[in-house]
Structure 1
């Protein structure tokens, strides 16, 4: 049965699983490896939605990822128990142990690192990287193959996550963070190469791996039983675990952005409470009478909103579990073509109201627009400063070109004869920067700040 083959403890950078005396399972070790990785720590200084104001705490990429991992663990536990019960006569002993005791570890680990490839300044950072190459097409495109150029002009945080987690930087260990293939497969929302993008299909709306990670992804896909969709390009249907990671992310950012906006005073308490109450009623899982009784005892406005936020996430988590179980067959065969969150939203007016409200009052708030504009310019100018010099032959570089390249740490200086790899090194460096680091470097190379800092 396919459920017996969907998971693997094989790791990137290791030809065969290594026998360990570690009391943790291989999948528990994934979670710990991510937590202690430098790329994960850098998420603490990357924008989620709002600029980091200092005096009022709002979510950054790190706190968001921790919360998504918490929801993902719940989903993995609920679904694992259900699969063990529903298919108990079909599962072998290894599979029973996995679904009962380790599926939640895989989902929480994948949730933990789902944003690890996102550059500074959120989606505006992604847009800046893609736009840099699009706007310089006449000067750069001829230096790359068609698929390589497609990777650059469609730069995507999801694909970059696979790269961050699996690629070997100069002087570092092979296999990157060395996660299990199960965790890698679970973050591949768009398991196709960039030339296979097609917005009509959920699994091809964006792309999931660069040409540089193509062979690695093929290994992961084969080992975890991902199915090729039969097209001429390298495109797979989503792995079944991906849906749980995606809906955990969707639940958290749609709900928690409201709480952050409330703490910043962008929306008032009554509006926030009404939206959450409407959602809880709309999902119809929680006992609304008990919710009202609890609220009557809470007088602090932030505590009331936090309570309703928690109940909203709980309702959506339980609803998502129901949908996943009901649609499991179509998820397995690749015919389910809508996210679980959007499937719920189609029958829940509250989620549509929250989405429309958030677009108007949160995502287009002046503070958000300002940082998106600033972030775009910072990231674009850093690439403008570093990409052209890296593509010039050594003997033709001017002193200014060499000085620019001296800014790039040695671990990001790749194959000197391969333009694609050289540019990927620059992208690795720039996309890995925190908001503060990128802004600081931008100010220095532009002459806005002059002086020594260590």
Structure 2
């Protein structure tokens, strides 16, 4: 294992070396490249929980990401305070942290702002809908047969699944899609994307296992989900090599983004539920009081939070829920910072693989409240009829769009290449018209990758599937609805 050093992991080196920056300028440039990008702007019309919501007070993915960035910066600052206040010897990595605190904070903010940029329309339900569509072996076997990849009515074997990297789609997730957007889709050449520093790419890699040979390991949190697609395996490996991070190692700053996201959504989803009158704050407080009634509370801060739930207020200038949320967030930030500091050396050596807010720790009363909030959200918001009905609509919309674009996946590689090269092709009028709806940025990435993999029909089909999914996952909720209505003839413009 490499001897990891923060000075190596906070590097200005980029994929495209034509751009030269000083340390802080490089990370400020990364942040600018993200916030001026179209995928970042599109998050304002992607739902956090309530899709197709007209109430602008309810969070979108964009407003949620801004809140996560604030909390991530808060945690980063709290870690620096922990380092400054320690009575122990400050090592080289700690000294580097304090010296480059502004750069570190900027990387954390950008990582937080980017964490949901790859999410498809209709959020996590959209992710599962894409996965389910590609998990239908009969459907995929029929498509591959028409595309000339498997013969006749042969079953879809595991070997073929591996050859076409079907995991990219059956385990589709917004996190690897975000890496794909940043490293491929946003660039004019289809190869360098936003041309982030290797540091920013690594810090944005929430899960560190992926690629062609991905196997989920239930004992390793960092393999909980697919971390990157087969198409980005090369750039991820190059990133680790450039930063001296061991294979499958997590960048230290990623822990902060993960904790910030947990802290943010555990209260914001309930806040939105209250705003939309899906749930009353009184119900939340009664639930927390009931669930903690048999607990011996020894944490003074948690005792204060429970007093707020019981109506014992100290700040009448804000709502009860706002006071509750503020105190809990401060407590969770402090806990995350202390956890990071207590495992500082392990994290720096890329040997730590647990979240900072580890809900498996049943002894910590701060995490008890976090678990209760997530339980309450599952039972009273995610399972609410209005939310579930929108999710069912989202499922129909995304499934319908995938069904409509299936003819493009059924083409042989030669016929699809003819469309790409604007040559005469033996394809249906439907397929040719569907092809012309695809965005140029997605097509640029496809063309660039095909040039590197000429003649491999399995990789070509994988890249073609990514082309379709890149288009769909980039859609806003409203655009997906309108496209579905147009393609299916429900609404003709």
| TM-score bucket (shorter structure) | 0.7 to 0.9
- The Cα of 1:96 is off from its aligned counterpart by 4.7
In the alignment, which residue of structure 2 is the partner of 1:206?
225
SS of 2:134 mapped into structure 1: helix
In the alignment, which residue of structure 1 is the partner of 2:215?
197
Of residues 362, 367, 370, the one that matches 2:381 is: 362
In the alignment, which residue of structure 1 is the partner of 2:234?
215
In the alignment, which residue of structure 2 is the partner of 1:233?
none
Is the 1:391–1:419 Cα contact (8 Å) retained in structure 2? Answer: no
- The Cα of 1:175 is off from its aligned counterpart by 1.6
Encode CA deviations 1:291-325: one digit per residue, 9 max, x unaligned.
Answer: 8699355277xx33223212211111111111111
In the alignment, which residue of structure 2 is the partner of 1:321?
337
In the alignment, which residue of structure 2 is the partner of 1:4?
7
- The Cα of 1:447 is off from its aligned counterpart by 0.8
Tell me how many residue pairs correspond in the alignment.
437
In the alignment, which residue of structure 1 is the partner of 2:200?
183
| Residue 77 (structure 2) pairs with residue 59 (structure 1) | no
- The Cα of 1:177 is off from its aligned counterpart by 1.5
CA–CA separation in structure 2 for the residues paired with 1:430 and 1:81: 43
Encode CA deviations 1:386-429: one digit per residue, 9 max, x unaligned.
Answer: 14324414233111111222221233232376222222111111
Of residues 149, 153, 156, the one that matches 2:166 is: 149
CA–CA separation in structure 2 for the residues paired with 1:400 and 1:265: 44
- The Cα of 1:286 is off from its aligned counterpart by 7.4
| Residue 354 (structure 2) pairs with residue 338 (structure 1) | yes
Segments of structure 1 that go 5 or more residues without pairing to the other structure are 229-235
In the alignment, which residue of structure 2 is the partner of 1:409?
439
Encode CA deviations 1:254-308: one digit per residue, 9 max, x unaligned.
Answer: 11111111122222232335568999x78644793998699355277xx332232
Q: 1:146 to 1:283 in 2, by over 3 A?
A: farther
Encode CA deviations 1:58-79: one digit per residue, 9 max, x unaligned.
Answer: 1110011000000001111222
| Residue 133 (structure 2) pairs with residue 115 (structure 1) | no
CA–CA separation in structure 2 for the residues paired with 1:282 and 1:271: 25
| Residue 254 (structure 2) pairs with residue 253 (structure 1) | no
- Where in structure 2 are the equivalents of 1:418-429 lying within 5 Å? 418-429=460-471
| Residue 84 (structure 2) pairs with residue 72 (structure 1) | no
Q: 1:241 to 1:283 in 2, by over 3 A?
A: farther
Q: CA RMSD in A?
A: 3.0
Is the 2:190–2:441 Cα contact (8 Å) retained in structure 1? Answer: no
- Bigger relative CO (Cα 8 Å, ≥ 6 apart): 2
SS of 2:9 mapped into structure 1: coil
CA–CA separation in structure 2 for the residues paired with 1:315 and 1:217: 34
Encode CA deviations 1:347-376: one digit per residue, 9 max, x unaligned.
Answer: 233223222211111111111111211111
Q: 1:146 to 1:185 in 2, by over 3 A?
A: same
Between stretches 162-171 and 434-443, larger displacement belongs to 162-171
Is the 1:27–1:180 Cα contact (8 Å) retained in structure 2? Answer: yes
Q: 1:27 to 1:154 in 2, by over 3 A?
A: same
SS of 2:313 mapped into structure 1: helix
In the alignment, which residue of structure 1 is the partner of 2:420?
none
CA–CA separation in structure 2 for the residues paired with 1:94 and 1:327: 17
TM-score (norm 1): 0.87
- Where in structure 2 are the equivalents of 1:270-419 lying within 5 Å? 270-273=282-285, 284-285=300-301, 288=304, 295-298=313-316, 303-343=319-359, 346=362, 347-348=364-365, 349-393=368-412, 394=415, 395-413=425-443, 414-415=446-447, 418-419=460-461
Q: 1:91 to 1:187 in 2, by over 3 A?
A: closer
CA–CA separation in structure 2 for the residues paired with 1:55 and 1:89: 50
Between stretches 188-197 and 267-276, larger displacement belongs to 267-276
Q: 1:11 to 1:273 in 2, by over 3 A?
A: farther
Is the 1:193–1:210 Cα contact (8 Å) retained in structure 2? Answer: yes
SS of 2:278 mapped into structure 1: coil
- Where in structure 2 are the equivalents of 1:121-160 lying within 5 Å? 121-135=122-136, 136-140=139-143, 143=149, 146=162, 148-160=165-177
In the alignment, which residue of structure 2 is the partner of 1:34?
34
Is the 1:430–1:438 Cα contact (8 Å) retained in structure 2? Answer: yes
